[in-house]
Amino acid sequence: MTKVGEGSGPAKEPNVGNYKAELDTSSRKFLTALEQYNKSQNPEEQKHLRTVMDQQMAAIQSSVRELKKHGFHKEAEKVAKDYKDYQDEETNENYTCLHNDIETLRDLNKSI
């Protein structure tokens, strides 16, 4: 049995690589849910997908807050605004803007 204070040392601090990986995963899941939501005609499925999108957007914003030092600030604000616009009015234009901005955020994530 391990005693308090023994072990492999303190917990590892999250690093940029961890936040980038989380951002990639969350944005991929968000896009999948967004695409399915946009195609679905089933209100129950849409409700579930909206919950998934909300959760993934929260994870995206959390990662981006940690990555702001690396140029994510402006694109992250645009994604958050476009998601709100899409929630307010589910038009093809708002869908396309949101989808493209998530893809741009993913590309920015890969370039750092």
pLDDT for residue 21 is more than 60: yes
List strand residue ranges (DSSP E) for 1-112, in order: none
CB within 8 Å of 50: residues ≥ 6 apart = 37
pLDDT for residue 5 is more than 70: no
Give pLDDT, residue 40. 96
pLDDT tens digits for range 32-71: 999 999 999 999 999 999 999 999 999 999 888 888 766 6
Report the share of the chain in percent with pLDDT over 70.
Answer: 84
For the chain, the average pLDDT equals 86
Mean pLDDT of 10-37: 86
Distance set, CA 75 to CA 8, 36, 40, 60, 95 (Å) = 38, 24, 28, 12, 16
Give pLDDT, residue 69. 67
Residues composing the chain: 112
Give pLDDT, residue 68. 77
pLDDT for residue 98 is more than 60: yes
Evaluated on CA atoms 104, 41, 54, 91, the torsion sign reads: positive
Give the residue extent of every domain in the chain.
Answer: 17-31+43-111
96 residue type, one letter: T
Model-level pTM greater than 0.85? no
